[in-house]
Structure 1
């Protein structure tokens, strides 16, 4: 089976190990770290005291995470000598190769991880099914919001159950503010989708 989406693409066999900078990759497993980075990215100029007020971790941990993010080049102080200093986040794209499949880690994926405590389905898919499936499902759900693919097809391509797919879809719709109340993913039922493959399904899946 072959995948080709925004965050997942095939790069052939050979590389088996995941490589990358620890702080970058931890953004996919540490919801508090991801939340601080995402908060800075969404609110340029935010300060450490602002983050302490809203974070679910201690003041000490907030400052530790800020230091780590700054050391990794993910955030920068933008003020002069005044205190507290405002921060801005840097955009990035980190490529990981997992069993011959290349996965792009971007701020958009990190923003999803930042909500893992609010939506346990995020950690469940990531931890139980792996990073490739997590990133692939993310991309396919975005395609679903644009009307390009059905829920049943997402479940088939990711090997997720329909219930898990619906739960993840609902979470991502809320996090990314996809669609509106009239097109909420909760209005979809198995009777609303079709069994036939469409053009997108053909493009995404190559039967060997």
Structure 2
């Protein structure tokens, strides 16, 4: 009976709440840690450093982060327990870590938002960019995730800053500040031109809806 259960567990299968469980790289037990990534920029920054580097070690992280050595190793333990990072070189005397790519999808009242490493990378810098912290605190993660995607669309010329403000229900100034912040984090655009399709002074708050093309999205 036990061996039958183990065999089933190692298969890829779907249920109402879980998909591809057999492909999961180890246990995922630290759901609170996923939530903490949204609230703790130091933890988010450490995870982002591992994710961006491909592989790294504790001593390397101690050299490059602003938190204490003890905090670095506490965070590594927490991230590993949550399944967000894993050791990849078991033969080395110094543990080598890699970050697991993840997508945490939340659905509330038919609104779905996906938390990804890309989103965590931006949230990790909320102390450096007040616009990010302002949007998260005043409007929440759904609005921030929507605005983040719209800023990327803006960099490709698909929407204006005015449209970002309207779609995400942000003030014109907040939308502009957020675009500047995300442009800087993601290194969007070029050195000669920033995200200045519109500045805050360019907005007409009484202007009608410009977003007919987005009605079906």
Q: Do both proteins adopt the same fold according to a TM-score greater than 0.5, normalized to the shorter chain?
A: yes
TM-score category of the 2 structures, normalised to the smaller one: 0.7 to 0.9
Distance 1:183 1:198 in 2: 25
**TM-score, structure 2 normalization:** 0.78
Q: 1:133 aligns with which of 140, 143, 152?
A: 143
- Alpha-carbon RMSD across the aligned residues, in angstroms, is 2.1
SS of residue paired to 1:60 = helix
Distance 2:209 2:140 in 1: 27
Aligned to 1:63: 73
Cα deviation for residue 82 of structure 1 reads: 2.0
List runs of 5+ in structure 2 lacking aligned partners.
1-29
SS of residue paired to 1:104 = strand
Aligned to 2:171: 161
List runs of 5+ in structure 1 lacking aligned partners.
1-19
Aligned to 1:6: none
Consecutive aligned runs of 4 or more in structure 1 exceeding 3 Å deviation = 190-196
Contact map agreement 1:149 1:201 (CA 8 A) in 2: no
- C-alpha offsets along residues 26-71 of structure 1, whole Å, 9 cap, x if unaligned? 1111111110110001112211111112222111111111011111
Q: 1:40 aligns with which of 43, 50, 53?
A: 50
Task: Kindly name which structure, 1 or 2, has the bigger radius of gyration based on alpha carbons.
Answer: 2
- C-alpha offsets along residues 113-150 of structure 1, whole Å, 9 cap, x if unaligned? 11112112111111111111111111111111111111
Is residue 179 of structure 1 aligned with residue 192 of structure 2? no
Instruction: Specify which structure has the bigger relative contact order, considering alpha-carbon pairs within 8 angstroms and separated by 6 or more residues.
Output: 1
Distance 1:50 1:164 in 2: 36
SS of residue paired to 2:216 = helix
> Where in structure 2 are the equivalents of 1:56-205 lying within 5 Å?
56-186=66-196, 188-189=198-199, 191=202, 197-198=210-211, 200-204=213-217
